[in-house]
Amino acid sequence: MSSFPMTNAKKVLFLIPDGVGIRNYLYSDVIKHIKENASIVFWSPLAEEAFKEVYELHDIDVEYQQIKLPVENAITRLCREAATYARLNHYAKKMSNPTILVVWRRPKNNKKLWLLYIMAEVLGKWASKKYQRILKLERMAQRHWSNAVISNYKGKLKAVAPHSIFITHQRVAGLNPISLAAKELDIPTTTAIYSWDNLPKARLSVKTDHYLVWSNWMKDEMHTYYPEIPENNIKLVGTPQFDFYAQNERLRSKEEFASKYGLDAQKKWICFSGDDVRTSPYDPDYLRDIANALSRMSDSDRPQLIFRRCPADFSDRYDTVLAQYPELIVAIDPLWNSKANNWGGFFPKLADIDLQVNLAFHCEAVINLGSTMAHDFTNFGKPCLYINYDQPHAKNWSVDTIYKYQHFRTMEGLQAVGWLNGKDEIVDKLQQLMENPDTIGPDKELWMKKVVRHPLKESSKLIAQTLL
């Protein structure tokens, strides 16, 4: 690996709380643009093994330090959770959308934490009536971080002396002491809003100087949900996670891809993209419905079904269905390191990007329940079918709630996807996909342009410019 020249004075510190930041930012061209003008430092709870492919991909030496994120004390946690609950209540009323509150869940297996959430709900209900009360709770949460913890990070930051700090997503509250230490040292901090649904869900857990957003829609959301943040602090840069689809060198021939994963290159392929268990607890039942519908199609018309599970879900909940339809379903698991005990410890392998790009390129369409995979496939003009019916045995859950989430208002007035409104429609919709794919979700490109800044190729460069 090459070393940086001694004349390179600037230094950018990346705080990477989990593997998603590796995929969306470190494998992208963000690093390529920064390394031309600055040296790079990584701080992360992940072991250095997680970054090996990043070093090799970009041919860089990185100053790496593994950190252990501090745990909030009771007052900090109470104030933060109360402010979160207050925001959810406040905006559920303001936006006339009760589904905003769905994301609030009391922990089940920790009595002390359960009691803290009860207290947070009482305090949050009171705070939701006046926005200034919410801001006061958030300031209290910030003030009650240990001075010793903040001072410790100040010492570490002085030793590194970064020009700026980039937090790869805003959802991990344990990063706040680093942000507070940086503020005392006048080191500018930037964080990226992780996903298109995060702002209505009150998931801005880390306070920084600058915030990177995907689109004008998301920028408007920042003004709506966080009016205290100045407009100049919100940077419209897009997101580099879709840049990979424009890199033709990642593509493999259909025959090569088929040979590698045991697929039939003579058939058309459909991808069923799994969700996490919270979003779609009945996902295996939907996979079974698709496979059952395929079994009723003639062999000449029947596509092959590729199942890609959510990287956060390595459970055995799909095993029965996969065993039931071995001739119809080919499971191709995400190429993620899954040895960790929780989602935060997972990290993607570089090859997973090529895998996902080739799935989108070679499959005729993707089927799922409200996933951003619809946008991944749009990069190649491929349609998405959103599942839009409940399983008869479903309890305390409905697709109707999912599609009323605030971020799906981006679809209003658009035929962005096709809809599977019942399992009796599956065969007809699959045949329509095979014969007339352009009739399904004809406004998919318009929807993606609403959700993500275009042209997509510019996002990495814009992020690098912001950090430099």
Domain with residue 19: its CATH number is 3.40.50.2000
134, 268: one domain: no
Query: Which strand (E) or helix (H) includes residue 432?
Result: helix 426-435
Give how far Cα 440 sits from Cα of 281, 385, 443, Å. 26, 8, 9
CA distance 139 to 176: 12
Q: How far apart are the first and last CA of the chain?
A: 23
Instruction: Say yes or no: 206 and 93 in one domain.
Output: no
Domain presence at residue 135: yes
Q: Are residues 365 and 346 in the same domain?
A: yes
In a domain, 5, yes or no: no
Within a domain: 171: yes
CA 342/CA 39 separation, integer angstroms: 31
- Do 364 and 257 fall within a single domain? yes
> Residues 331, 182: one domain?
no
Going residue by residue through the chain, which has 468 residues, state the pLDDT in tens, using 9 for 90 and above. Answer: 333 333 447 999 999 999 889 999 999 999 999 999 999 999 999 999 999 999 999 999 999 999 999 999 999 999 999 999 999 999 999 999 999 999 999 998 899 999 999 999 999 999 999 999 999 999 999 999 999 999 999 999 999 999 999 999 999 999 999 999 999 999 999 999 999 999 999 999 999 999 999 999 999 999 999 999 999 999 999 999 999 999 999 999 999 999 999 999 999 999 999 999 999 999 999 999 999 999 999 998 899 999 999 988 889 999 999 999 999 999 999 998 876 666 556 889 999 999 999 999 999 999 999 999 999 999 999 999 999 999 999 999 999 999 999 999 999 999 999 999 999 999 999 999 999 999 999 999 999 999 999 999 899 999 999 999
Could you give the 3-state DSSP secondary structure of residue 167? strand
pLDDT at 100: 97
Listing from the earlier edge strand, what are the strands of the sheet with 164-167?
Answer: 63-66, 39-44, 11-15, 164-167, 189-192, 210-213, 234-236
335 and 193 in one domain? no
Instruction: Find out whether the peptide bond into 455 is cis, omega within 30 degrees of 0.
Output: yes
**Is 348 domain-assigned?**
yes
343 and 221 within one domain? no
Task: Look at residue 1 and tell me if it is in a domain.
Answer: no
| Amino acid at residue number 312 | A
* pLDDT at residue 92, as a whole number: 97
Burial of 186 per CB tally in 10 Å (0-12, 13-18, 19+): exposed
CB contact at 8 A, 246 and 353: no
pTM of the complete model:
0.93
Look at residue 6 in the predicted model and tell me its pLDDT.
36
Q: How far is CA 216 from the centre of its chain?
A: 18
Residues 333 and 434 in one domain: yes
Are 47 and 135 within one domain? no
389 vs 422: CA distance, rounded Å: 5
**Are 115 and 257 part of one and the same domain?**
no
Q: Are residues 114 and 158 in the same domain?
A: no
In a domain, 440, yes or no: yes
281 lies in which domain range?
244-451
Number of domains in the chain: 3
Residue 200 lies in a domain: yes
Are residues 81 and 66 located together in one domain of the fold? no
Whether 168 is in a domain gets the answer yes
Q: What is the pLDDT of residue 344?
A: 59
pLDDT of residue 4: 34
